[in-house]
Structure 1
């Protein structure tokens, strides 16, 4: 028994595009306006308790421990075994955050695995 190929509907593709742009946009915001901007970094290290500083601390802890990359890799491996829109969305979110927030190697492998989730044998012709 062969599995049918995993195909996305146009609405699912649009949903993934929106989620991808939001995820990468937020990651760019945190990276360039919270982590790397020296004035914000000095204020947050000085004890400022804002939502931006909390996002900075959380993302710093997560990327130092490679959480984004490992999560993206695990979800992508699950997606290769059992492709679904839920796993694809989760993997896209984790990989998008990982690519922008310094977990490039593991997140890059995860992106490749997410693409491999679409590879299924072609249906036999009679």
Structure 2
């Protein structure tokens, strides 16, 4: 008996799209409103606000390529064992990795996510 390939249903796809758009929007906001504004960088010197701590955390994370590493790791797990949760997390991490300068690893994760659509899915209904 052949199993159906991984393909989220309509409701799951709507949730995945919403969460992916949220992650991408948040990453774009942080990059262009907090990271690339020199005025924010100057204002954050010696100040400990939530905005400045978020800025420092994101700079540390993309400096270590954490967004790209998380994207590749979750996408690889998605290829090995497809699930909606892993796909959603991998998509969110891939979007953030592409925005936060981790393009090589996030691009690889995007390719792995595309490959995961060809994998048989245990959660599929015939």
Q: TM-score normalised to the size of structure 1? A: 0.90
Per-residue deviation at 1:51? 1.4
Worse overlay, 46-55 or 96-105: 46-55
Question: What runs of 5+ residues in structure 1 fail to find an aligned partner?
Answer: 122-126
Question: What runs of 5+ residues in structure 2 fail to find an aligned partner?
Answer: 121-126
SS at match of 2:7: coil
Match of 2:48 in 1: 49
Count of matched residue pairs? 120
Equivalents in 2 of 1:72, 1:41: separation in Å?
27
Q: What per-residue deviation string (whole Å, max 9, x for no partner) do you get for residues 55-109 of structure 1?
A: 1111100000000001100110110011100100110111111000010110011
Per-residue deviation at 1:8? 0.8
Higher relative contact order (CA 8 A, sep 6+): 2
Match of 1:30 in 2: 30
Please list every run of at least 4 consecutive aligned residues from structure 1 whose deviation after the TM superposition is greater than 2 angstroms.
1-4
Q: TM-score normalised to the size of structure 2? A: 0.90
